[in-house]
Amino acid sequence: MPFYGGGDLSRLLDESKLTTEAVQFYAGCTILALTQLHSLEIVYRDLKPENILLTAEGWPVLTDFGLVAFLDEGRATSMVGTPEFMPPEIVSGTGHGTDADWWSLGVTLCELLTLTTPFCEPEAASNHERTYANIVRGRFSKSFEQKEFRLLPKHTAAMLSGLLKLDPPERLGGTRRGTESIRCHPFFWGLNWEALEARELTPPYAAHCQASNKAVTTKFDESARAGTLMVLPPSMRPCSREEGESNAAAAAMDKMFDFSAW
């Protein structure tokens, strides 16, 4: 896997929530990546801003495939992922497929647009049980509902609601509605999908990513010259049996998917 020095999407949120145009761009790239994975019968299962890295030019890259599930033998049933971003079918253990990723995309876009996730109660952020209870009911936290969601533009709120439907196949992008249902949604009317796929658009925050890349590579060079840089090869890194299985899945993914945004 190559080095991506632009940081990740969560670092952009340290400064402010993203503009609608920026969210359209990053969401569009992620939709293309998920569509590619789903065509291979692979569900990603850990979509969140921290797992979307940025190149020095500002292009997003979907990374960390340690929790992917291969659906060639049917629906997955394990409870995995990051609590705030997990869909109800993973929380409840009823079995899940590629539709799970569209829910996580909805939560991710909520955070990019509002700096908060919709199901976590701020006063009990570490209480995953309360978060899970909200998720399985499809119920936003009171704080998100009153302070964030009601203030969103109509098309933005409709897009998020479409991704966060309790019935998995009925979600935007879901197996019953198809990926075209999200690409054609009014929220994305300002996005040129053909130009995006051809990489003819200028990524937002390109200057930020270039500055971040320069800072990281400068620090790397300084550490290398000082002799303080040590990177263990994969064979020397300790891991549990479960982590080993995830690494094996990621290695298999590497043969089929080049870790680019699509």
Active site residue 64: no
* Dihedral sign from CA coordinates of 240, 241, 246, 247: positive
- Catalytic-role residue among 8, 46, 64, 99: 46
Q: Which run of H or E residues covers position 43?
A: strand 42-43
Number of CB atoms found within 10 A of residue 149's CB: 20
Q: Of 78, 70, 229, 85, nearest to 164 (Cα)?
A: 85
Q: Is 182 exposed, middle or buried (0-12, 13-18, 19+ CB in 10 A)?
A: buried
Among residues 225, 238, 205, the alpha carbon closest in space to that of 52 is found at 205
Known catalytic residues are: 46
